[in-house]
Amino acid sequence: MSNSSPLLPVVDAFFKDREPSGLRESIVKGDELNIYVGNLSFSATENDIRDAFAAFGTVEKAAVITDKGTGQSRGFGFVEMPNKEEALKAIAALNGKDLKGRALKVNEAQPRTDRPRTGGFGRDRRF
């Protein structure tokens, strides 16, 4: 069984045009900012989140993360804005705001950390 997260290919695809060095180590690079958008409605599209963030500045990328097998939204996504000041304004304004019937959870994306796998189903749990 693989030790990698099922989201790893999706996250790598989102960042595919970035240089490999520092991809996961530094989400904030220079003046640009990568933003996590959570609690998305399953009907929300990349254009919906792009439009919401575009009201605050330039949006370089917008992605809704989907399930690999079904293609259905996983309820979160990422937005990349090249201007950090505009991105911070968007985060402040959109966190908690309604988009398609759901209150968004918006904050700076955190670098991905590799966590040890436990094997699932509590096999390695101690009571």
Average pLDDT over residues 83-110: 96
Average pLDDT over residues 71-80: 96
- Domain containing 77: what range? 42-111
CB 112 within 8 A of CB 14: no
SS (H, E, C) the chain: CCCCCCCHHHHHHHCCCCCCCCCCCCCCECCEEEEEEECCCCCCCHHHHHHHHHCCCCCCEEEEEECCCCCCEEEEEEEEECCHHHHHHHHHHHCCCEECCEECEEEECCCCCCCCCCCCCCCCCCC
Q: What is the pLDDT of residue 114?
A: 74
Neighbours of 125 (CB within 10 A): 8
pLDDT band for position 111 (50/70/90)?
A: confident
Q: Is residue 21 situated within a structural domain?
A: no
* CATH number of the domain residue 107 falls in: 3.30.70.330
pLDDT band for position 24 (50/70/90)?
A: very low
Q: Is residue 30 situated within a structural domain?
A: no
Q: Is residue 16 situated within a structural domain?
A: no
Average pLDDT over residues 14-37: 61
Greatest C-alpha distance within the chain:
51
Tell me the chain's radius of gyration from C-alpha atoms: 16
CB 75 within 8 A of CB 39: yes
Q: Per the confidence metrics, is the pTM higher than 0.85?
A: no
Q: Is residue 53 situated within a structural domain?
A: yes
Q: What is the pLDDT of residue 91?
A: 97
Count how many domains the chain has: 1
Q: What is the pLDDT of residue 66?
A: 95
Q: Is residue 23 situated within a structural domain?
A: no
Q: What is the pLDDT of residue 2?
A: 46
